[in-house]
């Protein structure tokens, strides 16, 4: 058995003061830093959007943040501009210890499709490369922490379980947006996929 810790999107724009801030999103950073001591394989993910990404409300005429539209790959929530490549907002939170990371994975780079999951873009077909990396390291178990519980953590956990990993989410090391009941829906989806939720 080989375990990996996947730290999802602990970036400035998702923390207080950021463009898409999760309430108290930075409060989990010290505990996540401590958790890293338990793992030899640690992957950090980063939302890394080009300017004018199609998931930004500003790119869709007449639309506002948190509205939804139909995209070729399904329903897409429209977000405020966030995590734009090379900006401070896209950077990791200053308190996050990035030194132990064996992989930093950037996602959401394709301007035409969003990428919540660390494993696939939102078409659920285009891989990010994380699965191949974990396979090459002999990983069988993945534990997930980070932001936000109901979007990128949820999608990543469900994909990990569907790919055959024994998957856990440490809920106390995540924070949620909770948009119109999205947290309860995400918890149900993770449980249905076989993800273990640990409080």
The C-alpha angle with vertex 194 and arms to 148 and 138, in degrees rounded to 5, equals 85
Coil/strand/helix, residue 155: helix
H-state helical runs in the chain: 29-35, 130-136, 154-162, 182-193
Q: Which of 47, 107, 143, 159 is catalytic?
A: 107
User: Does the annotation count 35 as an active-site position?
Assistant: no
Q: Which two tokens stand for residue 77?
A: 């929530």
User: Does the annotation count 141 as an active-site position?
Assistant: no
Torsion of CA 82, 87, 88, 89, to 10 degrees: 10
Q: Which of 59, 58, 79 shows the shortest CA–CA distance to 68?
A: 79
User: Does the annotation count 13 as an active-site position?
Assistant: no
Say if CB 166 and CB 198 are below 8 A apart: no
Q: Which of 9, 13, 47, 114 is catalytic?
A: 9
Q: Which of 13, 47, 150, 152 is catalytic?
A: 152
Task: Give me Rg for the CA atoms of the chain.
Answer: 16
Q: Which two tokens stand for residue 150?
A: 């109901």
The catalytic residues are 9, 107, 152
């Amino acid at each position: 058995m080989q375990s990996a810790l996947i730290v999802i999107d602990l970036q400035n724009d998702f923390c207080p003061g950021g463009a898409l801030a999760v309430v108290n999103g930075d409060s989990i950073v010290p505990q996540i830093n401590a958790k890293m001591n338990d793992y030899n394989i640690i992957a950090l993910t980063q939302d890394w959007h080009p300017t004018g990404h199609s998931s930004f409300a500003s790119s869709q005429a007449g639309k506002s943040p948190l509205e939804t539209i139909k995209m070729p790959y399904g329903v897409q929530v429209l977000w405020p501009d966030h995590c734009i490549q090379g900006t401070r907002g896209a950077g990791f939170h200053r308190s996050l210890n990035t030194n132990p990371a064996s992989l930093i994975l950037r996602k959401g780079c394709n301007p035409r499709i969003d990428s919540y999951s660390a494993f696939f873009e939102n078409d659920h077909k285009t891989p990010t490369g994380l699965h191949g990396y974990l396979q090459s390291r002999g990983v069988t178990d993945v534990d997930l922490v980070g932001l936000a519980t109901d979007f990128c953590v949820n999608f990543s956990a469900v994909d990990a379980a569907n790919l055959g990993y024994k998957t856990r989410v440490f809920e106390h090391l995540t924070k949620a947006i909770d948009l119109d009941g999205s947290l309860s829906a995400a918890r149900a989806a993770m449980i249905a996929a076989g993800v273990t939720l640990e409080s």
